[in-house]
């Protein structure tokens, strides 16, 4: 897998983890980011192996990105009182 593809998949994995775990663990934004990086380092290689075993072609990554800003949900989260 090309490094820029791998970087993109890692970013998506981390974004998914943050979304799934936002209300658990640290209540500090920086702490939450740190937790996500620790989990990424611990679990990402296993995730890639499972994806390859399931038949995923890591040379054919197609990601559709919506046009325009998608910030409504992010601004709601920031407005809900998260501390840095």
- pLDDT tens for 19-52 read 898 888 777 888 899 999 999 999 999 998 998 8
84 pLDDT above the threshold of 50:
no
User: What pLDDT is recorded for position 58?
Assistant: 72
Rounded distance between C-alpha atoms, residue 14 and residue 42, angstroms: 12
User: What mean pLDDT is predicted for residues 64-71?
Assistant: 67
Higher pLDDT among residues 70 and 40, named by residue: 40
Higher pLDDT among residues 22 and 62, named by residue: 22
């Amino acid at each position: 897998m090309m490094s820029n593809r791998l970087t993109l998949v890692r970013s998506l994995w981390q974004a998914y983890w943050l979304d799934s775990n936002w209300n658990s663990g640290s209540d500090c934004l920086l702490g939450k980011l740190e937790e996500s990086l620790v989990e990424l380092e611990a679990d990402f290689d296993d995730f890639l192996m499972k994806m390859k075993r399931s038949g995923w072609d890591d040379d054919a990554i197609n990601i559709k990105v919506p046009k325009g800003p998608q910030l409504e949900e992010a601004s709601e989260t920031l407005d809900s009182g998260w501390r840095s």
